[in-house]
Structure 1
């Protein structure tokens, strides 16, 4: 492995180029103690599970990175920087608690709505007995669910589709990928400004209303807009990628999994956790050292991350670390324990993780009503070009019946 590793270019650019199958690079980087300084990007690449969790749980590694969106125009940078994911300390804690309180209440009521969204998507495909698992199932389920959470009306489907496109551009910019139409972000901002004005006249039980009410935490309307955009993008990306990509793993033993879910409904939770591990919706997170930080535990030699240096924590690599996951390249539907960090780790762990898990479980339960699911003959999945978020942009499948 060491000889083969020597032939690989161990840098961020190479990882991005091979984002559809980066595991050979991850293995080579783990051979460097899971912490490697990339001269080309002037950043540390973290690929071990132990180091990833330690860094994400260390408050000396900051999330508020001015350099993250340096390739974006100033207006887009403002929208990105005001998101709670780029806050630290008390400001982040208080903003995240607004979300957590609302989601703790909504998760009790959401399963029926999610089930309805998933069933509607499958019924729409029933006549043709084929569908694009991304655009016709994963996308509408995730879109309608997060719209419901925020308090966005779901009756205008054409508007929702536009919001989805604009939000995809915003999600790309937030993740450091700048190839979309930046006007999309302006359109999305304008929509949320209007929605906020309407919502102020009619406060309801939704997350946007809670953002408006939390004046001490979100004092300016721009703060509310930025975090609505963040929630709308992040709330779709996780389940869209998991369902769109995860279906490939499920199709390998569809009948077996289907029978087991029917026999033991709780099995779908274990199945969902393994899908989260093996698809890992966000590949990496970026942190910045607030001071010189020595890392030595579990390493052959200590390393010092200097103040101001960037650290790129590869969640996907950590979720395939053989020191934590036996046979990590294998899809183990019964894997326990499953200590994946698909939702991050530490203070910045995704506040929507509980809702996302419920969304995934309910969507899978409905999906297992489909019989004989398989890849559409003569077709193959199409990859999203964003090397951080990745995932399929299309994945055609066929099925025989829908019960």
Structure 2
């Protein structure tokens, strides 16, 4: 049984492998709960999170209310690479960079389905005849890596070079999400790679996102700001698909044949299943916001919810996606769920610009896995490994034993 003394931010963060019992207990007590230990609001209700994410009085800026740095004092690159990402920006800068990303993805719309299909086909050719493979390392991670590298315009000589960039990017993602048990020098190494790549793209621009960032639109103050957002796209583009496939497929494995038969009977179920896995898995556990002024939400949510200027707010997206006040039988995987207005990609101005691409990758992966394998079984002798970053979480290794379709 969960005790109310457990309702604090450290406990919620530590419980990242199985948080839903704690979420449910906290949400039933107060979906907009003030934690005196961390001096922050813990928000677990779907309605409350949508309200806050759409309210401009709550800022995503990390340094809101902090004194301006001393003139002439240049922060270290790793700090700039985190603070200048648009996930921590509001207003014109956020809107302009997000529009560049959206417009570039729209320009690539015709090309991307074929590219994703080629990547999935190639990866399945490498694993289809194996007696076992790792769902994350052999499939989910390289799929997301190769697709987002194509979008950005990264073209290293081989997959191993991309994997090295991916490892450095994971460090950047860890620091971005507040997990600091990493080698900070990896961020500088990734930054050096992007600095060199920017110089190449200036000489020979192509039809990729980095080239779009470099066009003279007076959005970025310097190359470090461009690189910060290249790193953001690279990290987010990998992380979402990697976690959704790496943690979503294991949800299907216990009844794989049933799901495959449902797909054979109605291939459109892959689209609905993609949405339901997004709801059930949720790529990012929580988001941070800060009140820019006093906000009283007591009229919308029963209880004392007078948020003060400067108060910190933690928005638990995966809790909102299991809110029984919004989703009927929220712990049941139901691809027929309608409506399914999950918050896997956030909500409001900061809704993820890569949502359509992530959906394309996940849906294509589902369709081709169902087509390729008659059955999938978890490798019982090899327990899954978890990402220690409590905000991102997800499996870093998940052994699978496949059964191919009969020829």
TM-score where L is the length of structure 2 = 0.94
Counterpart in the other structure of 1:51: 48
Counterpart in the other structure of 2:382: 379
Counterpart in the other structure of 2:146: 144
Unaligned runs of 5+ in 1: none
The change in CA–CA distance for 1:22 and 1:8 in structure 2 (over 3 A counts) is farther
Distance 2:103 2:341 in 1: 25
Q: How far is 1:270 from its partner?
A: 0.2
CA contact (8 A) 1:129 1:401 kept: no
Distance 2:336 2:132 in 1: 29
Q: How far is 1:260 from its partner?
A: 2.0
Cα deviation digits, residues 160-217 of structure 1 (max 9, x gap) = 0100000001011111111111111011000000000001111111100000014411
Pick the aligned partner of 2:61 from 23, 39, 64. 64
Distance 1:115 1:250 in 2: 21
Distance 1:189 1:215 in 2: 22
Distance 2:129 2:360 in 1: 28
Q: How far is 1:74 from its partner?
A: 4.4
Q: Secondary structure at the match of 1:76?
A: helix
Q: Secondary structure at the match of 1:372?
A: strand
Q: Secondary structure at the match of 1:373?
A: strand
Pick the aligned partner of 2:282 from 280, 283, 292. 280
The change in CA–CA distance for 1:42 and 1:379 in structure 2 (over 3 A counts) is same
Q: Secondary structure at the match of 2:363?
A: helix
Counterpart in the other structure of 1:16: 13
Distance 1:375 1:214 in 2: 51
Counterpart in the other structure of 2:204: 202
Pick the aligned partner of 1:243 from 242, 245, 253. 245
**Equivalent runs, 1:31-110 vs 2, <5 Å:** 31-66=28-63, 74-110=76-112
Distance 2:333 2:326 in 1: 15
**Equivalent runs, 1:1-400 vs 2, <5 Å:** 4-6=1-3, 8-66=5-63, 74-153=76-155, 155-368=157-370, 369-400=372-403
Show structure 1 runs of 4+ deviating over 6 A: none
Distance 2:270 2:328 in 1: 21
Q: How far is 1:302 from its partner?
A: 3.6
Cα deviation digits, residues 356-397 of structure 1 (max 9, x gap) = 111111111111121211101322211111110000010000
TM-score where L is the length of structure 1 = 0.95
CA contact (8 A) 2:77 2:224 kept: no
Over the aligned positions, Cα root-mean-square deviation in angstroms equals 1.6
Distance 2:230 2:77 in 1: 16
Q: Secondary structure at the match of 2:179?
A: coil
The change in CA–CA distance for 1:75 and 1:201 in structure 2 (over 3 A counts) is closer
Q: Which stretch shifts more, 147-156 or 227-236?
A: 147-156
Counterpart in the other structure of 2:71: none
Distance 2:220 2:117 in 1: 33
Distance 1:216 1:172 in 2: 30
Distance 1:51 1:110 in 2: 35
Q: Secondary structure at the match of 1:127?
A: coil
Q: Secondary structure at the match of 2:6?
A: coil
Q: How far is 1:301 from its partner?
A: 1.8
